[in-house]
Chain A
Amino acid sequence: MKKREWLQKNYPAKERLGRFSTVSDMEIEPIYMQDDLPPADEIGEPGEYPFTRGPYPTMYRTRLWSMRQFAGFGGPEDTNHRFKYLLSHGQTGLSTAFDMPTLMGYDADHPRSLGEVGREGVSVSTLEDMERLFDGIPLDHVTTSMTVNCSASAILAMYFAVAEKQGVPLERVGGTIQNDMLKEFIAQREWISPPEPSVRIVADMIEFTAKNAPRWHAVSISGYHIREAGSTAIQELAFTLADGIGYVDACVKRGLDVDSFAPRLSFFFDVHNDFFEEVAKLRAARRMWAKIMRERFAAKKPESLRLRMHAQTAGVSLTAQQPMNNVVRVTVQALAAVLGGVQSLHTNSMDETLALPSEEAVMVALRTQQILAEESGVTSTIDPLAGSYAVEALTNKIEREAWTYIERIDAMGGIIKAIEQGFPQKEISEAAYRFQRAFDRGDKVMVGVNKYQVPEERPIPTLKIDPDTERRQSEQVRAWKKARNASEAREATLRVREACTSGENVMPPILAAVKKGVTVGEISDVFRETFGEYRDPAWV
């Protein structure tokens, strides 16, 4: 039976809602049928173009995703302790959260760091901090992800320097640095300099790692923060892929062969509550990126065409009210991530709307992944949702609407121009405000918040940051600066400045500088002085 006939037979019906839509306000039809399926080659086979069914042929039957809980708080020793705790409980990769001063390129002793040191992540100003952070963790045995962007060049240089000290050659160091500056201007909003020079440094890092650290991912092109800032799933997908196009353009323009770096580009998506929308978004992402790389950039290697992704469950979906309910939300979201075919996953802890996660809460989050992987059975068959009328129809719809955004951005002259005009920023603000109004009206339900509330909440224990961290970290930075060879540090800083102005790759001089004791804040100061500081245009 055709869908039209079925609808004529069964509709109009008295439905329980006036309109059925996703959390992104995408309208959902009552039924999807065989006539919604795309041509078979749009679905394809796992591990083959256009990779709708997954980047690898045998997926989780060969290898499970990396279970990678984002962790960082206090001083380097505190986070080192948490890393070892997670590894001892079966986590398979590390993921580092830095504090706000580190993320904005200020040392712990800077006046702008006041009150923020070690609060939202771990404080790292010096090479010594980085050594303490990875003390006793062999960097040739784990892969590490580091969420840091505008100060990423200094942080990556420090990580490489620690590896060298451990006797691990760069060719064997594996991991990911987020380093996606375009989405900083769009959504996460931690920056030093304007978009153009920021992208240039990203391209320097892509070029440097492609040649020297082939197991490293120099950028993780991120939709997560775009979504958390309030975008729809379609906007998340479209702006992320547009950012990816921006980086590939920048690298190709400086003469790099697309196949020399494209295989090491990686992606990072949010996984929100609406189950099928999220599965469809992840499948559409792979299909679209494959087409972009083949058609727009003429990439040849299959590895250049296949999108590999990390995912994190949606922080923004969690509630401070009845926090135990968050365990259930995270489970549903993690299942969508797995059925969407992710390579790496962070599951949020139930207490994250209250504070950074406690050890107990992190354990439940990690166990959620282990239960999905080893008890639920969903990993036994490759891409089990392929061919589902609903999933395939939603995948097509999301792809179609995301292309429309990408075409609009192309017409503006590319993503940097679009960001300068505030286009993605304003689209996201609009979507965030629309959702808020729908939530305020009760059209969008958050259980325990605008429906099924309880009058008396029972508080759960939360993590406390040692208030002495800031004083300790500041004193250590000051002592570090006193102890180093001042003229060598000055000379090395000057080399970084010269690279910034001459256009030579900044990574070799930054690597040399951190070894001479130059700090994250000092390298960021060079960027501030040579490229200028970016200021928030404060669009509402």
Chain B
Amino acid sequence: MSERTLRILVAKPGLDGHDRGAKIIARALRDAGFEVIYTGLHQTPEMIVESALQEDVDAIGLSILSGAHMTLFPAILERMKARGLGEIVIFGGGIIPEEDISKLAALGVRGIFRPGATTEVIVKWVRENVHVRTSG
């Protein structure tokens, strides 16, 4: 166990401006004692992977409400693997239909939270599923 706190990137891929959820999650994770970096809106997959690398994060939470999740989540996962960042935990939330959840899980998205999830549930999930990465 390392003594440093978990470091989490909260990111908004794509063009939609719905950032209410992302900001609430960022703040709830921060209040729970994690170190949180929020990217702001309108991020490309490249920008998100670059931020993850620069900030040396343990997990990335992706928020997307534009319906482009089946394009943008895989694009981010591919680039993560290509950069050797495959062990960073990816989770996300937004307007995501039931049938896409299993597809995203198969691609390696570890958790999907849909409308109505409480911040407590998400914080608890992060505590149980995200660990401090030992490798740089």
Chain A bound to chain B: yes
Chain A residues with a Cβ under 8 A of chain B: 100-101, 103-104, 106, 112-116, 119-120, 184, 188-190, 228-230, 316, 319-321, 353-356, 429, 432-433, 436-437, 439-440, 446, 449-450, 459, 462, 465, 535-540
Task: Tell which of B16, B30, B75 touches A540, judged by Cβ atoms closer than 8 Å.
Answer: B30
The verdict on B26 contacting chain A, using a C-beta distance below 8 Å, is: yes
- Asked if A436 meets B115 with Cβ closer than 8 Å, knowing A189-B41, A538-B39, the reply is no
Kindly list chain A residues whose C-beta atoms are within 8 Å of the C-beta of B128: none
Cα(A540)–Cα(B66), bound, Å: 21
User: Is there contact, CB below 8 Å, between A115 and B97?
Assistant: no
Task: Report whether A432 and B24 are in contact in the complex, using a CB–CB cutoff of 8 Å.
Answer: yes
Q: In the bound complex, what is the Cα–Cα distance between A538 and B41 (angstroms)?
A: 7
Q: Number of B interface residues at 8 Å Cβ cutoff, please give it.
A: 36
Cα distance A97–B116 in the bound complex, in angstroms: 25
Chain B 34-47, CB within 8 Å of chain A: the 1/0 string? Answer: 00101111101000
Given A104-B15, A354-B95, A535-B40, check contact A116 B66 (CB 8 Å): yes
B28 CB within 8 Å of chain A = yes
Within the assembled complex, what's the spacing in Å between the Cα atoms of A190 and B115? 22
Most buried by A among B14, B39, B114: B14
- Knowing A320-B115, A459-B98 are in contact, say whether A189-B14 is a contact too (CB < 8 A): no
Nearest-CB residue, chain B, relative to A117: B68
Q: Which of A115, A228, A355 contacts B14 (CB 8 A)?
A: A115
Contact partners of B20 in chain A: CB under 8 A: 228-230, 316, 432
Q: In residues 85-111 of chain B, which contact A (Cβ within 8 Å)?
A: 95, 97-98
Q: Bound state CA distance, A459 and B14, in angstroms?
A: 27
Asked if A119 meets B30 with Cβ closer than 8 Å, knowing A100-B15, A459-B98, the reply is: no
Q: Which residues of B contact A116 (CB under 8 A)?
A: 14-16, 66-68, 71
Whether the Cβ atoms of B27 and A189 lie closer than 8 Å is no
- Which single residue of chain A is at the shortest CB-CB distance from B69? A115
A319-B115, A459-B98 known; A119+B68 contact, CB < 8 A: yes
- Across-interface contacts of B70 in A (CB, < 8 A): 115
| Residues of B bordering A, CB below 8 Å | 14-20, 23-24, 26-28, 30, 36, 38-42, 44, 66-68, 70-72, 75, 95, 97-98, 114-116, 118-120
In angstroms, Cα B18 to Cα A228, docked, is 9
Can you name the residue of chain A whose Cβ is closest to the Cβ of B13?
A: A115
Interface residues of chain A: helix, strand, loop or mixed (majority): loop
17 A–B contacts from the bound complex (CB under 8 Å): A104-B15, A115-B75, A116-B14, A116-B16, A190-B17, A353-B95, A353-B115, A356-B67, A432-B20, A433-B24, A436-B119, A450-B118, A459-B98, A462-B97, A537-B40, A538-B41, A540-B38
**Smallest distance from the beta carbon of B28 to chain A beta carbons, Å?**
7
Query: Of B15, B16, B23, B44, which contacts A432 at CB under 8 A?
Result: B23
Contact A439 B118 (CB under 8 A): yes
Sample of 15 further A-B pairs with CB below 8 A, known A114-B68, A449-B116, A539-B23 = A100-B14, A115-B14, A115-B68, A120-B16, A190-B15, A320-B116, A353-B115, A354-B97, A355-B67, A433-B24, A436-B28, A462-B97, A536-B41, A536-B42, A538-B38
